[in-house]
Copies of this chain bind each other. A is one copy, B any other.
Amino acid sequence: MTNSPGRSARLDEVAARAGVSTATVSRFFNNPDVVAAATAEKIRAAVAEIGYVPNLLAGGLASNRSRLVAALVPHLSNSIFGQTIEAMVEQLYTEGIVVMLGLTGTADIRLESLIKAALARRADAIILTGILEDEELRGLLQRSSTTVIEIWGLPENPIDLAVGFSHRAVGVDIARFIHSRGYLHPHLLTPSTARARERRDGLIAEWAAAGGAPVTEDDVEAPVHFGSARAAFAKIRRLDPRPDVIVCGSDSLAQGVMVEAMSCGLKVPDDIAVVGFGNSSLAGEMRPTITTIDVDGARIAREAIAAMRQRALGEDIKNRTIDVGFRLIARDSA
């Protein structure tokens, strides 16, 4: 609790005060089991008296461990990734690892410089939500010793590790579901992202295979706003035959469609059914409740962290790809 402002205490000052070597103080922080209880107590006291906070820049340089994980997502707001990021930050926090948040937006150039920023800080791991096509960047990542974990999707050729689920399978499941419920004219509202398009493709293929009538569809610019649904819905009303179920690329899109439909006097699901994606909290709380796809974002975070830990321990990782699956939750809206 001493120290003049500006200069922070160093490890050797703690060591001097505790009457031990710097090596021992370092061990006290990084490998406490090996230091004797009495020694630890002296160090603890010295740390408290001096108000010592270790310099992890120096520590990271020396140990080659930054205790920093980079999480690169497209957006934060209205984003389904928020859940995974939140889970990741919370879980990593308990091990003293911190998350560097990178927002890639839709520009590839940003993804590139964010990856370099993460590499420059010697991030222990880089979590990627986007799909990285650039061969040069993939090579840069592979040559680095950093653990790279692609989450959310399930690339057939991962850069390093991957934790996610098959978006195509989601589309297939939704097709089967709406078919089994007897809907005849699905309309797809697909955000302009690669993953949403995979789901769309799966749905259309399965729907056609089941002998369904042609599907109508519309794109919605990502990131999706609650209100993107309005313009989309106006178009839908003019369609002939009018769709009897609208499959939305996100829950907030679904919610927007429902609010619009209901404010036009239509009943959900009787006049028009709606399916969402993501099982955000509002899906269960909207009236009527929203039929959607549940993805366990916290589990994705857990599996990713478990993989990092194995890597850090130098263990061999058998499954480079982990499928966490998903669940279709049938509620009132469809």
Contacts and interface: CB of A to CB of B under 8 A. Distances in A.
A286 B255 CA distance: 10
29 contacts: A1-B136, A4-B143, A6-B145, A8-B143, A8-B144, A51-B143, A53-B140, A55-B122, A56-B121, A57-B57, A57-B121, A75-B86, A77-B83, A90-B105, A93-B103, A93-B110, A93-B113, A93-B114, A99-B100, A99-B101, A100-B100, A101-B101, A225-B285, A226-B281, A226-B285, A226-B286, A227-B281, A227-B284, A260-B287
Given A51-B140, A77-B83, A77-B86, 9 more contacts: A6-B145, A7-B145, A53-B140, A54-B120, A68-B121, A82-B82, A89-B101, A89-B102, A98-B117
Contacts of A139: 1
Interface residues of A, number: 68
Interface stretch (A19-27, A58-66, A202-210): A58-66
A263 interface: yes
Interface of A: 1, 3-8, 51, 53-58, 60-61, 66, 68, 75-78, 82-83, 85-86, 89-90, 93, 96, 98-103, 105, 110, 113-114, 116-117, 119-122, 136, 139-140, 142-145, 225-227, 230, 252, 256, 259-260, 263, 281-282, 284-287
Given A227-B285, A285-B226, A287-B259, A57 B142 contact: no
Contacts of A98: 100, 102, 117, 121
Most buried by B among A6, A98, A99, A230: A98
Nearest to A5: B143
Contact of A103 (B61, B86, B259): B86
A326 B116 CA distance: 38
Contacts of A7: 145
Given A57-B60, A142-B5, A96 B78 contact: no
Contacts of A75: 86
A82 B103 CA distance: 12
Contacts of A90: 103, 105
A98 B99 CA distance: 10
A117 B5 CA distance: 18
Given A55-B61, A86-B76, A120-B56, A256 B281 contact: no
Contacts of A56: 120-122
Contacts of A66: 57
Contacts of A93: 102-103, 110, 113-114
B281 A78 contact: yes
A55 B281 contact: no
Given A55-B61, A142-B5, A256-B285, A82 B76 contact: yes
